[in-house]
């Protein structure tokens, strides 16, 4: 499949621009500009459709998709720890605080070695793209050079990436072998990364963006958190951190500061309209009100939460409060690079919260009735919802949005979608795709019209 910049694409598309509703665009024509942005969208029933197809054909820019192909928006993964990719599927039975100290920090410390960083980050970026993830919000390690390399590799391979040098300076939580030398050093490193990415000669279109990245309140001294808040205000960059992930984490912040995690982050200037808070499992109603007032977003990491979060994120409550929510894999807290798994686990977790999990309790006391959310909601969050939380014009097939997309081939060799009976309607087909597709079914991936993965 060619590069689609300057081309017109005719085929079948699914997307979910608004929450709770999916749209099937059957035989739509998308005209994609030289910059990879969708210029026009015509449905078969629209006036001028046949003429536009003829015109594209005559101009030699028409690309027709085969019958077995469906185009979905690329996924937006709102929470990834890039240097943790080697520990995917490692020690998931350990509590968060031990997992960090015994596995994660020693691994992340190895990113002082740029050859190791190159090997890991190349594999990660290639695997994200091959799995249909076209936008990734990523924590890197504490090392400036390796984080710059992650930005370089993302640019080279065409991943839309938001990348932060992880900041962590508090000796009470961070080991000697893996810690910013001081709050000042962490701030300088963050500023240097911002300058590097914003001034990168290959980044004129802004495909990669820098992110202010305090790891989480327990790992940062108060001066560092306040300094990063001030830096975020000055530069207007995105911010990412963890918030209310587990009982240990919440308790630690409460004990050290006398505040709730969300209140403390806000006090430090870190809760902005460009902030993404990871997990948020234990957020209270008033925390959610605060996040809503600041227009911050939440990265819901349903699979990781099973292992490290000690509870289920109340997704429906957050959405009803009006919070901007997207989905994250939390590599490597969640042992899958695939946002299809994130979608599936989002639905499953909400069902467990709804029905409850303790069979010893009577059904009416077992769960939080009404908490369930369906696959339509999860699909929206994994695409347009995550994009909105980041303020990016991607995630749906609308004029003005960049063409970030993945082609699902029902007949791909090695694929796992079995259509043994005709689906009742297009929505039933999309449901089947989302529940049964795998990497082999994702045969093409584009970011801003550029072909970035596939056969």
Q: Least distance in Å: CB of 428 to ligand GUN?
A: 35
Q: 245 is in the binding site of which of ligand GUN, Fe ion, none (Cβ under 5 to 8 A by kind)? A: ligand GUN
Task: Compute the distance between CA of residue 284 and CA of residue 297 in angstroms, rounded to an integer.
Answer: 15
Residues that bind ligand GUN (CB under 6 A): 81, 96, 100, 104, 215-216, 242, 245, 304, 308, 330, 333
Q: Least distance in Å: CB of 275 to ligand GUN?
A: 16
Looking at beta carbons only, is 134 or 246 nearer to Fe ion? 246
Q: Least distance in Å: CB of 121 to Fe ion?
A: 17
Q: 216 is in the binding site of which of Fe ion, ligand GUN, none (Cβ under 5 to 8 A by kind)? A: ligand GUN
Q: Least distance in Å: CB of 382 to Fe ion?
A: 17
Q: Write the CA distances from 388 to 25, 135, 407, integer angstroms.
A: 21, 12, 22
Looking at beta carbons only, is 216 or 403 nearer to Fe ion? 216
Q: Least distance in Å: CB of 139 to Fe ion?
A: 7
Q: Least distance in Å: CB of 373 to ligand GUN?
A: 22
Q: Least distance in Å: CB of 245 to Fe ion?
A: 7
Count Cβ atoms below 10 Å from residue 272 Cβ, excluding itself: 18
Of 8, 26, 3, 12, the closest CA to residue 63 belongs to: 8
Q: 193 is in the binding site of which of ligand GUN, Fe ion, none (Cβ under 5 to 8 A by kind)? A: none
Of 267, 261, 263, the closest CA to residue 279 belongs to: 261
Chain positions 275 to 314 lying near Fe ion, rule: CB under 5 A, are 278
Task: Compute the distance between CA of residue 294 and CA of residue 413 in angstroms, rounded to an integer.
Answer: 47
Contacts of 322 (CB under 8 A, 6+ apart): 292
Of 200, 226, 228, 195, the closest CA to residue 212 belongs to: 228
Task: Compute the distance between CA of residue 311 and CA of residue 289 in angstroms, rounded to an integer.
Answer: 20
SS3 state at 415: coil
Say if residues 381 and 344 touch (Cβ distance below 8 Å). no
Looking at beta carbons only, is 245 or 266 nearer to ligand GUN? 245
Task: Compute the distance between CA of residue 121 and CA of residue 113 in angstroms, rounded to an integer.
Answer: 12
Looking at beta carbons only, is 96 or 345 nearer to ligand GUN? 96
Q: Least distance in Å: CB of 413 to Fe ion?
A: 35
Looking at beta carbons only, is 242 or 324 nearer to ligand GUN? 242
Q: 157 is in the binding site of which of ligand GUN, Fe ion, none (Cβ under 5 to 8 A by kind)? A: none
Residue 180 near Fe ion by CB under 5 A: no
Q: 344 is in the binding site of which of ligand GUN, Fe ion, none (Cβ under 5 to 8 A by kind)? A: none
Task: Compute the distance between CA of residue 392 and CA of residue 160 in angstroms, rounded to an integer.
Answer: 10
Task: Compute the distance between CA of residue 150 and CA of residue 178 in angstroms, rounded to an integer.
Answer: 19
Q: Which of 330, 388, 404, 409 binds Fe ion (CB under 5 A)?
A: 330
Count Cβ atoms below 10 Å from residue 170 Cβ, excluding itself: 19
Q: Write the CA distances from 84 to 81, 99, 120, 286, integer angstroms.
A: 6, 12, 9, 33
The contact set with Fe ion (CB under 5 A) reads 278, 330
């Amino acid at each position: 499949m060619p590069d689609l910049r300057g081309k017109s694409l005719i085929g079948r598309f699914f997307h979910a621009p608004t929450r709770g509703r999916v749209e099937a665009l059957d035989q739509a024509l998308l005209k994609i500009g030289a910059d990879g942005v969708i210029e026009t969208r015509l449905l078969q029933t629209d006036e001028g459709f046949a003429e536009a197809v003829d015109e594209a054909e005559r101009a030699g820019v028409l690309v027709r998709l085969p019958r077995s192909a469906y185009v979905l928006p690329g996924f937006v993964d709102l929470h990834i720890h890039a240097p943790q990719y080697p520990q995917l599927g490692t020690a998931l039975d350990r509590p968060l605080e031990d997992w960090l100290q015994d596995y994660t920090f020693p691994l992340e410390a190895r990113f002082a070695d740029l050859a190791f960083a190159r090997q890991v980050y190349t594999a990660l970026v290639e695997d994200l793209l091959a799995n249909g993830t076209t936008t990734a919000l990523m924590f890197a390690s504490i090392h400036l050079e390796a984080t710059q390399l992650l930005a370089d590799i993302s640019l080279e391979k065409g991943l839309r990436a938001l990348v932060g040098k992880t900041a962590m300076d508090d000796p009470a939580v961070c080991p000697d072998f893996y810690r910013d030398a001081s709050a000042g050093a962490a701030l300088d490193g963050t500023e240097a990364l911002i300058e590097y990415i914003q001034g990168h000669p290959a980044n004129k279109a802004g495909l990669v963006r820098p992110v202010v990245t305090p790891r989480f309140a327990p790992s940062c001294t108060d001066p560092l958190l306040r300094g990063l808040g001030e830096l975020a205000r000055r530069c207007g960059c995105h911010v990412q951190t963890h918030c209310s992930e587990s009982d240990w984490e919440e308790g630690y912040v409460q004990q050290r500061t006398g505040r709730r995690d969300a209140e403390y982050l806000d006090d430090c200037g870190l809760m902005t309209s460009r902030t993404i808070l990871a997990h948020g499992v234990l957020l209270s109603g008033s925390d959610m009100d605060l996040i809503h007032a600041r227009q911050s977003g939440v990265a819901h990491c349903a699979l990781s939460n099973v292992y490290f979060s000690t509870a289920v994120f109340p997704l429906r409550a957050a959405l009803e409060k009006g919070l901007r929510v997207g989905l994250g894999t939390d590599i490597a807290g969640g042992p899958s690079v695939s946002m299809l798994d994130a979608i599936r686990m989002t639905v499953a977790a909400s069902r467990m919260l709804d029905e409850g999990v303790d069979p010893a309790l009577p059904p009416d006391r077992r769960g939080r009735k009404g908490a369930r959310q369906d696959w339509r909601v999860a699909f929206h969050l994994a695409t347009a919802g995550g994009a909105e939380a980041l303020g990016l014009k991607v995630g749906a097939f609308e004029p003005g949005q960049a063409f970030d997309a993945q082609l699902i081939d029902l007949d791909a060799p090695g694929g796992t979608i079995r259509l043994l009976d005709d689906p009742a309607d297009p929505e039933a087909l999309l449901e089947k795709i989302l529940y049964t597709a795998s990497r082999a079914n994702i045969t093409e991936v584009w970011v801003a019209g550029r072909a970035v993965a596939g056969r």
